[in-house]
Structure 1
Amino acid sequence: MVNIMRTTKLLAAAGTLGLALSAAPALAVNGHYVGGIEGTKGPTVPPEGFYYRGYLLHYDIDSVQDGDGDKVPGDNGGSVSAFANRFIYVTDKKFLGADYGMEAIVIGQRNDFDFKGMGVDETETGIGDVFLGPLILSWHGKQWDSVFAAGHWFDTGDYDAADPASIGKGHGTTMLTLGGAWYFDEQRDWSFSALSRYEIKTEQEDTDITKGDSWIVEWALGKVLDNGVEVALAGYDGWQLESDSGTPAPGPKVEQHAIGAEVTFPVKAIGAQLSGAVYTEYANKNRPEGNLFRLHLTKAF
């Protein structure tokens, strides 16, 4: 009986692996966007100008979780490292009372999966799918900021349905963004922000599967200290809202939750801003679970 239960759980885990690592969304929920990369004041868009933001991410996988949030048997570890380049242009144009902007993202990534309990040992390195966002609308008040944006992740990265470490996802994703930041005082020293991303996927040509829509929310409670350094309690939560379609039976839905801390400080020598954060995941379902380390540097030109 014990062997039968263990075999059943391993078979279920194999299905989990196929969903959680297909197209290597070990960082994302089940699509493209990675929770936790923006952090404090993520919904606050800067004023008119051209900006570059570079993201350095490292995700250490401790385990793979099943649909009940329990650890799948075996030694299942690995890592994902990525360097994302984001280019933002905020114009002098207005639309619906908002500042109008646009953006593009190009990512270099390395996926290293060593899931001994599932017989997977794969490593891939390459350029991932490219994001183009032709619409950023940002509003600003005395003690608040808000943003709405829309764009698409294009299926440009290499994808192989038989390789769980593929850099590309094998499908496109339309991403809608909505968020806001509230400042508790006129000096804007205390803030709470929430930034949400809604992802709608296209069909994977290699598998004829369309992954279910997902919703990711990043949040942060921050305080600017007297020396200009900002510290924050931060986190992210993600849910797959719909089951995958195009499969004989609906695949399991994915969840991802994390809490962490962030520090942001100005780099006056180069006129930039540096932010670092560390997150610990908990209560994940049907996907890997681990720790996310993130740095991002923002430079205005």
Structure 2
Amino acid sequence: MRYKTVMTLAGLLAAAPLSSPVLAANGHYVPGVEGIGGPAVPPPGIYYRGYLAHYDIDNVRDGQANKAPGKNTGEVTALANRFIWITDKTFLGASYGAELIVPLQRTSLDFKGIGVKDSDSGLGDIFVGPVVLGWHGKQWDAVFAAGHWFDTASYEPTEPASIGKGYGTTMLTLGGSWHFDPDKRWTFSALSRYEIKTEQDDTGVTPGDSYLIEWALSHRLDSGLNVGLVGYEAWQLESNDGGPADKAEKHALGAEAGYFWPGHGLGLNAAVYQEYNNEAGPEGALLRLHLTKVF
């Protein structure tokens, strides 16, 4: 049984369908990069948001959430550059905008227990989102968005740390926030992503669709500091077509704090997450910073 588990994990991590299986739950989107205020679309303008994420891998889990034998560690550092344009146009009562994400990433895997060691760095797959719709009420906000992760980064099916995924992903976003009081001091928000993948290069494998939710319960203090409890839940909904049958899962709980300086059009948020009960992939801790600049 132990030999079978090791071989299954080695297949998941070194073979085709889960290339670079360290940040996402089998897709492109990294859970945990949004938290407090994630579903709120800003007023018309041009915005830059830089996401700096560092993921420390503590262990690797199989499809039944069992820890792989031996020492299996690694780390990923990524900087995602997101450019957002919210126009003064409306559609279906919502503000309309578009976005572009250009990620940079460094991955190092040292899975001694299952015999996987690899590293890579470079420009990641690029996301183009031609549709961002934001609605705003007195005590609520909502968002819908659609876009595509293009297969633009380097990918090798025999290199598990490849920066590219080797396939494209259409991503649909739906989320909302509810402010418990008129002053919007207490807020609960949830942001969901649904990912639909194409066939992977050189392997003939099509990864199964995936779904995730990022949530936050936050409170804005008198000083303007936002603090809150955050988390994410991610599931691969379908088995891979032509690859390993195990479906990936990720679950995490964490805390976040953030502050916005209106006079400078600048915001800074920091969050830390600890994953638990993952399946078919790594498990670890995520540290995330994001910087927002209003132009």
TM-score (norm 1): 0.95
- In structure 1, the residue matched to 2:82 is 86
Structure 1 residue 43 displacement after superposition = 0.5
Do residues 286 (structure 1) and 295 (structure 2) align? no
Residue of 173, 179, 192 corresponding to 1:177: 173
Per-residue CA distance 1:34-83 (angstroms, 9 max, x = gap) = 11101012100100000000010000000001122121001100001001
- In structure 2, the residue matched to 1:59 is 55
- In structure 2, the residue matched to 1:277 is 271
Per-residue CA distance 1:121-169 (angstroms, 9 max, x = gap) = 1110100000000000110000000000000000000000010010000
Structure 1 residue 94 displacement after superposition = 0.6
Query: Contact 1:107/1:127 (CA < 8 Å) preserved in 2?
Result: yes
- In structure 2, the residue matched to 1:32 is 28
Do residues 254 (structure 1) and 226 (structure 2) align? no
TM-score (norm 2): 0.97
Unaligned runs of 5+ residues in structure 1 are: none
Do residues 151 (structure 1) and 147 (structure 2) align? yes
Determine helix, strand or coil for the equivalent of 1:40.
coil
Query: Contact 1:16/1:286 (CA < 8 Å) preserved in 2?
Result: yes
Determine helix, strand or coil for the equivalent of 1:203.
coil
Structure 1 residue 251 displacement after superposition = 1.9
Query: Contact 2:124/2:164 (CA < 8 Å) preserved in 1?
Result: yes
Query: Contact 1:20/1:287 (CA < 8 Å) preserved in 2?
Result: no
Structure 1 residue 24 displacement after superposition = 0.3
- In structure 1, the residue matched to 2:212 is 216
Per-residue CA distance 1:178-236 (angstroms, 9 max, x = gap) = 00000000000000000000000000121010000000100000000010000000000
- Structure-2 change in CA distance of 1:234 and 1:98 (3 Å): same
Residue of 220, 223, 232 corresponding to 2:228: 232
Percent of aligned pairs with the same amino acid: 60
Query: Contact 2:254/2:274 (CA < 8 Å) preserved in 1?
Result: yes
| Paired residue type of 1:253 | K
Number of aligned pairs?
Answer: 295
Per-residue CA distance 1:234-263 (angstroms, 9 max, x = gap) = 00000000111134xx52101100000000
| Paired residue type of 1:109 | Q
Matches of residues 78-157 of structure 1 in structure 2 within 5 Å?
A: 78-157=74-153
Determine helix, strand or coil for the equivalent of 1:210.
coil
Query: Contact 2:53/2:288 (CA < 8 Å) preserved in 1?
Result: yes
User: 2: CA distance between counterparts of 1:20 and 1:237?
Assistant: 24
Structure 1 residue 22 displacement after superposition = 3.3
